[in-house]
Amino acid sequence: MTPPSDARDRLAAVRTEVAKAVVGQDAAVSGLLVALLCGGHVLMEGVPGVAKTLLVRSLAAALSVRTKRVQFTPDLMPGDITGSMVIDSSRGELSFREGPVFTNLLLADEINRTPPKTQSALLEAMEEGQVSVDGTSHTLPRPFLVAATQNPVEYEGTYPLPEAQLDRFLLKVVLPVPDRAQELEIVNRHASGFEPQDVAASGVTAVAGVDDIAAGRRGVREVQVSTEVAGYVVDIARATRQAPSLGLGASPRGAVALMRTARAWAWMSGRDFVTPDDVKALAQATLAHRLSLRPEAELEGVDVGAVLSSALGSVPVPR
Protein backbone atom coordinates (compact mmCIF):
# COMPACT_ATOMS: atom_id res chain seq x y z
CA MET A 1 0.00 0.00 0.00
CA THR A 2 1.41 3.36 -1.08
CA PRO A 3 2.14 5.73 1.86
CA PRO A 4 0.29 9.06 1.51
CA SER A 5 3.57 11.01 1.77
CA ASP A 6 5.01 9.15 -1.24
CA ALA A 7 1.78 9.72 -3.12
CA ARG A 8 2.00 13.46 -2.43
CA ASP A 9 5.47 13.61 -3.98
CA ARG A 10 4.35 11.69 -7.06
CA LEU A 11 1.22 13.76 -7.54
CA ALA A 12 3.32 16.92 -7.22
CA ALA A 13 5.51 15.57 -10.01
CA VAL A 14 2.42 15.42 -12.24
CA ARG A 15 2.59 19.21 -12.53
CA THR A 16 6.07 19.01 -14.04
CA GLU A 17 4.97 16.41 -16.56
CA VAL A 18 1.88 18.36 -17.65
CA ALA A 19 4.04 21.48 -18.08
CA LYS A 20 6.00 19.64 -20.79
CA ALA A 21 2.92 19.89 -23.01
CA VAL A 22 0.95 22.81 -21.54
CA VAL A 23 2.36 26.28 -20.95
CA GLY A 24 0.97 27.96 -17.83
CA GLN A 25 -2.52 27.06 -16.58
CA ASP A 26 -1.14 26.03 -13.17
CA ALA A 27 -4.44 26.85 -11.46
CA ALA A 28 -6.30 24.45 -13.74
CA VAL A 29 -3.79 21.66 -13.05
CA SER A 30 -4.17 22.25 -9.31
CA GLY A 31 -7.95 22.17 -9.64
CA LEU A 32 -7.90 18.83 -11.45
CA LEU A 33 -5.60 17.30 -8.83
CA VAL A 34 -7.77 18.61 -5.98
CA ALA A 35 -10.86 17.12 -7.65
CA LEU A 36 -9.14 13.76 -8.03
CA LEU A 37 -8.21 13.74 -4.35
CA CYS A 38 -11.80 14.64 -3.38
CA GLY A 39 -13.51 12.28 -5.82
CA GLY A 40 -15.15 15.27 -7.52
CA HIS A 41 -15.43 16.70 -11.03
CA VAL A 42 -14.14 19.83 -12.75
CA LEU A 43 -15.69 22.27 -15.19
CA MET A 44 -13.09 24.19 -17.20
CA GLU A 45 -14.10 27.34 -19.00
CA GLY A 46 -12.16 29.32 -21.54
CA VAL A 47 -12.27 30.64 -25.06
CA PRO A 48 -11.27 28.21 -27.83
CA GLY A 49 -7.55 27.65 -28.11
CA VAL A 50 -6.32 27.94 -24.50
CA ALA A 51 -5.35 24.23 -24.22
CA LYS A 52 -8.35 22.88 -22.30
CA THR A 53 -8.34 19.57 -24.18
CA LEU A 54 -4.55 19.28 -24.24
CA LEU A 55 -4.44 19.83 -20.48
CA VAL A 56 -6.76 16.90 -19.74
CA ARG A 57 -4.99 14.59 -22.17
CA SER A 58 -1.62 15.49 -20.64
CA LEU A 59 -2.94 14.88 -17.13
CA ALA A 60 -4.21 11.42 -18.11
CA ALA A 61 -0.80 10.57 -19.58
CA ALA A 62 1.02 11.73 -16.43
CA LEU A 63 -1.31 9.74 -14.18
CA SER A 64 -1.35 6.52 -16.21
CA VAL A 65 -5.14 6.25 -16.05
CA ARG A 66 -7.65 5.26 -18.68
CA THR A 67 -9.17 8.20 -20.48
CA LYS A 68 -11.85 8.70 -23.11
CA ARG A 69 -13.11 11.78 -24.89
CA VAL A 70 -16.62 12.73 -25.94
CA GLN A 71 -17.14 15.65 -28.30
CA PHE A 72 -20.46 17.17 -27.28
CA THR A 73 -22.54 18.26 -30.28
CA PRO A 74 -26.19 19.31 -30.73
CA ASP A 75 -27.14 15.85 -32.07
CA LEU A 76 -25.39 13.80 -29.35
CA MET A 77 -27.76 11.37 -27.59
CA PRO A 78 -27.61 10.24 -23.93
CA GLY A 79 -26.87 6.67 -24.97
CA ASP A 80 -23.81 7.88 -26.84
CA ILE A 81 -22.33 8.72 -23.43
CA THR A 82 -23.67 6.13 -21.01
CA GLY A 83 -24.01 3.16 -23.35
CA SER A 84 -27.07 1.33 -24.61
CA MET A 85 -28.69 -2.04 -25.12
CA VAL A 86 -27.73 -3.68 -28.42
CA ILE A 87 -28.56 -7.02 -30.02
CA ASP A 88 -25.87 -9.65 -29.52
CA SER A 89 -26.00 -11.46 -32.86
CA SER A 90 -24.12 -14.48 -31.53
CA ARG A 91 -26.69 -15.12 -28.77
CA GLY A 92 -29.70 -13.45 -30.31
CA GLU A 93 -30.44 -11.34 -27.24
CA LEU A 94 -29.97 -7.83 -25.93
CA SER A 95 -26.79 -6.98 -24.06
CA PHE A 96 -25.36 -3.78 -22.62
CA ARG A 97 -22.64 -2.03 -24.59
CA GLU A 98 -20.63 0.33 -22.41
CA GLY A 99 -20.36 3.96 -23.44
CA PRO A 100 -17.28 6.17 -23.12
CA VAL A 101 -18.28 7.11 -19.56
CA PHE A 102 -16.75 3.79 -18.46
CA THR A 103 -13.25 5.12 -17.89
CA ASN A 104 -11.19 6.84 -15.19
CA LEU A 105 -10.93 10.29 -16.75
CA LEU A 106 -13.73 11.38 -19.06
CA LEU A 107 -13.06 14.45 -21.16
CA ALA A 108 -16.47 15.96 -21.87
CA ASP A 109 -15.37 18.37 -24.56
CA GLU A 110 -17.50 21.49 -25.07
CA ILE A 111 -20.25 20.17 -22.82
CA ASN A 112 -22.36 23.28 -23.32
CA ARG A 113 -22.73 22.65 -27.03
CA THR A 114 -25.25 19.86 -26.48
CA PRO A 115 -28.89 20.25 -25.30
CA PRO A 116 -29.82 19.81 -21.61
CA LYS A 117 -31.30 16.32 -22.17
CA THR A 118 -27.88 14.99 -23.15
CA GLN A 119 -26.04 17.07 -20.55
CA SER A 120 -28.19 15.44 -17.87
CA ALA A 121 -27.02 11.98 -18.96
CA LEU A 122 -23.92 12.64 -16.87
CA LEU A 123 -25.80 13.51 -13.67
CA GLU A 124 -26.13 9.99 -12.25
CA ALA A 125 -22.58 9.10 -13.28
CA MET A 126 -21.13 12.18 -11.59
CA GLU A 127 -23.16 11.90 -8.41
CA GLU A 128 -23.34 8.15 -7.83
CA GLY A 129 -20.54 6.64 -9.90
CA GLN A 130 -22.93 4.50 -11.92
CA VAL A 131 -25.30 4.59 -14.86
CA SER A 132 -28.71 2.97 -15.16
CA VAL A 133 -29.90 1.55 -18.46
CA ASP A 134 -33.19 -0.33 -18.80
CA GLY A 135 -33.53 -0.50 -15.02
CA THR A 136 -30.10 -2.04 -14.45
CA SER A 137 -27.30 -0.16 -12.72
CA HIS A 138 -23.74 -0.43 -13.99
CA THR A 139 -20.87 0.67 -11.72
CA LEU A 140 -18.20 2.92 -13.18
CA PRO A 141 -14.45 2.35 -12.68
CA ARG A 142 -12.60 3.95 -9.76
CA PRO A 143 -11.33 6.60 -9.75
CA PHE A 144 -13.79 8.41 -11.99
CA LEU A 145 -13.49 12.07 -12.88
CA VAL A 146 -15.38 14.14 -15.41
CA ALA A 147 -13.27 16.97 -16.78
CA ALA A 148 -15.73 19.00 -18.80
CA THR A 149 -14.73 21.92 -20.97
CA GLN A 150 -16.99 24.72 -22.07
CA ASN A 151 -16.79 27.95 -24.00
CA PRO A 152 -18.20 31.06 -22.33
CA VAL A 153 -22.00 30.89 -22.58
CA GLU A 154 -22.28 34.09 -24.57
CA TYR A 155 -20.65 32.37 -27.53
CA GLU A 156 -22.97 31.32 -30.35
CA GLY A 157 -24.36 27.79 -30.27
CA THR A 158 -24.04 27.13 -26.54
CA TYR A 159 -26.56 25.87 -23.97
CA PRO A 160 -26.02 27.13 -20.40
CA LEU A 161 -25.67 24.27 -17.94
CA PRO A 162 -28.64 24.03 -15.53
CA GLU A 163 -28.03 24.71 -11.84
CA ALA A 164 -28.50 21.03 -10.95
CA GLN A 165 -25.63 20.01 -13.18
CA LEU A 166 -23.39 22.91 -12.23
CA ASP A 167 -23.76 21.81 -8.61
CA ARG A 168 -22.38 18.38 -9.53
CA PHE A 169 -19.04 19.96 -10.41
CA LEU A 170 -16.83 20.25 -7.36
CA LEU A 171 -14.78 22.99 -9.01
CA LYS A 172 -14.98 25.39 -11.90
CA VAL A 173 -11.68 26.75 -13.15
CA VAL A 174 -11.31 29.49 -15.75
CA LEU A 175 -8.40 29.14 -18.15
CA PRO A 176 -7.14 32.62 -19.07
CA VAL A 177 -5.51 33.66 -22.30
CA PRO A 178 -1.74 33.37 -21.68
CA ASP A 179 0.38 36.46 -21.20
CA ARG A 180 2.87 37.53 -23.86
CA ALA A 181 5.81 35.52 -22.52
CA GLN A 182 3.73 32.35 -22.27
CA GLU A 183 2.23 32.88 -25.71
CA LEU A 184 5.69 33.36 -27.16
CA GLU A 185 6.79 30.06 -25.60
CA ILE A 186 3.75 28.33 -27.11
CA VAL A 187 4.55 29.68 -30.56
CA ASN A 188 8.22 28.69 -30.23
CA ARG A 189 7.27 25.16 -29.16
CA HIS A 190 5.09 24.77 -32.24
CA ALA A 191 7.83 26.21 -34.43
CA SER A 192 10.12 23.50 -33.04
CA GLY A 193 7.73 20.76 -34.10
CA PHE A 194 5.41 20.32 -31.12
CA GLU A 195 2.22 18.43 -32.05
CA PRO A 196 -0.69 18.77 -29.57
CA GLN A 197 -2.17 15.50 -30.80
CA ASP A 198 0.96 13.59 -29.73
CA VAL A 199 1.35 14.13 -26.00
CA ALA A 200 3.92 11.35 -25.66
CA ALA A 201 6.23 13.09 -28.14
CA SER A 202 6.38 16.11 -25.84
CA GLY A 203 7.99 13.94 -23.17
CA VAL A 204 5.03 13.48 -20.81
CA THR A 205 5.48 10.23 -18.90
CA ALA A 206 3.45 8.50 -16.20
CA VAL A 207 4.75 9.49 -12.77
CA ALA A 208 1.71 8.51 -10.67
CA GLY A 209 -1.15 6.07 -10.89
CA VAL A 210 -4.38 4.79 -9.40
CA ASP A 211 -2.66 3.59 -6.21
CA ASP A 212 -1.22 7.06 -5.62
CA ILE A 213 -4.64 8.67 -6.05
CA ALA A 214 -6.11 6.20 -3.54
CA ALA A 215 -3.28 6.90 -1.08
CA GLY A 216 -3.75 10.62 -1.54
CA ARG A 217 -7.43 10.30 -0.73
CA ARG A 218 -6.53 8.48 2.49
CA GLY A 219 -4.16 11.28 3.37
CA VAL A 220 -6.80 13.94 2.72
CA ARG A 221 -9.26 12.17 5.01
CA GLU A 222 -6.71 12.47 7.83
CA VAL A 223 -6.44 16.26 7.49
CA GLN A 224 -8.02 17.93 10.53
CA VAL A 225 -10.58 20.74 10.33
CA SER A 226 -10.88 22.73 13.54
CA THR A 227 -14.20 23.96 14.85
CA GLU A 228 -13.15 27.54 14.10
CA VAL A 229 -12.26 26.79 10.47
CA ALA A 230 -15.46 24.79 9.99
CA GLY A 231 -17.39 27.79 11.31
CA TYR A 232 -15.49 30.02 8.89
CA VAL A 233 -16.61 27.83 5.96
CA VAL A 234 -20.23 27.92 7.12
CA ASP A 235 -20.17 31.69 7.63
CA ILE A 236 -18.84 32.20 4.09
CA ALA A 237 -21.67 30.12 2.65
CA ARG A 238 -24.23 31.99 4.73
CA ALA A 239 -22.77 35.35 3.69
CA THR A 240 -23.43 34.51 0.03
CA ARG A 241 -27.09 33.87 0.84
CA GLN A 242 -27.37 37.35 2.29
CA ALA A 243 -25.70 39.11 -0.65
CA PRO A 244 -28.32 41.45 -2.19
CA SER A 245 -27.04 40.84 -5.74
CA LEU A 246 -27.53 37.07 -5.55
CA GLY A 247 -30.77 35.22 -6.12
CA LEU A 248 -29.13 31.94 -5.15
CA GLY A 249 -26.33 31.64 -2.61
CA ALA A 250 -24.17 28.68 -1.68
CA SER A 251 -26.11 25.71 -0.31
CA PRO A 252 -24.96 23.50 2.57
CA ARG A 253 -23.61 21.15 -0.11
CA GLY A 254 -21.51 24.06 -1.34
CA ALA A 255 -20.15 24.56 2.17
CA VAL A 256 -19.24 20.87 2.40
CA ALA A 257 -17.55 21.09 -1.01
CA LEU A 258 -15.44 24.04 0.19
CA MET A 259 -14.39 22.11 3.27
CA ARG A 260 -13.40 19.11 1.10
CA THR A 261 -11.35 21.12 -1.38
CA ALA A 262 -9.62 23.05 1.42
CA ARG A 263 -8.59 19.75 3.04
CA ALA A 264 -7.15 18.51 -0.25
CA TRP A 265 -5.27 21.78 -0.74
CA ALA A 266 -3.87 21.56 2.79
CA TRP A 267 -2.69 17.98 2.18
CA MET A 268 -1.08 18.94 -1.12
CA SER A 269 0.68 21.75 0.75
CA GLY A 270 2.16 19.25 3.20
CA ARG A 271 -0.03 19.98 6.21
CA ASP A 272 -2.39 17.79 8.24
CA PHE A 273 -4.69 20.67 9.21
CA VAL A 274 -6.73 23.28 7.30
CA THR A 275 -6.05 26.99 7.65
CA PRO A 276 -8.32 29.90 6.72
CA ASP A 277 -5.92 30.61 3.83
CA ASP A 278 -6.69 27.16 2.40
CA VAL A 279 -10.39 28.01 2.49
CA LYS A 280 -9.85 31.37 0.81
CA ALA A 281 -7.59 29.83 -1.85
CA LEU A 282 -10.34 27.45 -2.99
CA ALA A 283 -13.44 29.60 -2.37
CA GLN A 284 -13.75 31.10 -5.85
CA ALA A 285 -13.24 27.84 -7.74
CA THR A 286 -15.55 25.90 -5.39
CA LEU A 287 -18.41 28.35 -4.89
CA ALA A 288 -18.64 30.87 -7.74
CA HIS A 289 -20.37 28.52 -10.19
CA ARG A 290 -22.98 27.64 -7.55
CA LEU A 291 -24.15 31.26 -7.23
CA SER A 292 -26.81 32.94 -9.37
CA LEU A 293 -27.24 36.66 -9.84
CA ARG A 294 -30.58 38.40 -9.59
CA PRO A 295 -31.89 39.48 -13.03
CA GLU A 296 -31.40 43.14 -12.23
CA ALA A 297 -27.81 42.48 -11.17
CA GLU A 298 -27.15 40.68 -14.45
CA LEU A 299 -28.50 43.65 -16.38
CA GLU A 300 -26.12 45.90 -14.46
CA GLY A 301 -23.18 43.68 -15.38
CA VAL A 302 -22.41 42.58 -11.83
CA ASP A 303 -19.67 39.93 -11.66
CA VAL A 304 -20.32 36.82 -9.54
CA GLY A 305 -16.66 36.60 -8.58
CA ALA A 306 -16.70 40.14 -7.25
CA VAL A 307 -19.82 39.41 -5.19
CA LEU A 308 -18.16 36.33 -3.72
CA SER A 309 -15.01 38.30 -2.93
CA SER A 310 -17.14 40.86 -1.10
CA ALA A 311 -18.86 38.09 0.87
CA LEU A 312 -15.47 36.62 1.78
CA GLY A 313 -14.29 40.02 2.96
CA SER A 314 -17.32 40.40 5.21
CA VAL A 315 -16.59 37.25 7.22
CA PRO A 316 -14.17 37.56 10.14
CA VAL A 317 -11.13 35.32 9.74
CA PRO A 318 -10.56 33.02 12.74
CA ARG A 319 -7.28 33.47 14.57
Domain containing residue 98: CATH number: 3.40.50.300
pLDDT attached to residue 236? 96
Same domain assignment for residues 250 and 115: no
Concatenating the DSSP letter of every residue in 2-53 gives: --HHHHHHHHHHHHHHHHTT--S-HHHHHHHHHHHHHT--EEEE--TTSSHH
Same domain assignment for residues 114 and 29: yes
The answer to whether 292 and 276 have CB atoms below 8 angstroms apart is: no
Does any domain span residue 164? Answer: yes
pLDDT attached to residue 150? 83
Dihedral over Cα of 178, 183, 189, 193: its sign? positive
Does any domain span residue 201? Answer: no
pLDDT tens per residue, range 44-55: 988 777 778 888
Does any domain span residue 94? Answer: yes
Same domain assignment for residues 77 and 159: yes
Same domain assignment for residues 136 and 270: no
Of 169, 193, 216, the domain-final residue:
216
**pLDDT of 4 above 90:** no
pTM reported for the whole predicted model: 0.88
pLDDT tens per residue, range 281-306: 999 999 999 998 888 988 888 889 99
The domain in which residue 173 lies consists of 4-185+206-216
What total of structural domains would you count in the chain?
2
How confident is residue 140, by pLDDT bands cut at 50, 70 and 90? very high
Among residues 239, 314, 225, the alpha carbon closest in space to that of 276 is found at 225
Does any domain span residue 196? Answer: no
Same domain assignment for residues 20 and 169: yes
Same domain assignment for residues 110 and 132: yes
Q: What residues contact residue 107 under an 8 Å CB cut-off, 6+ apart? A: 53, 56, 57, 67, 68, 69, 70, 147, 148, 149
How confident is residue 153, by pLDDT bands cut at 50, 70 and 90? low
Does any domain span residue 199? Answer: no
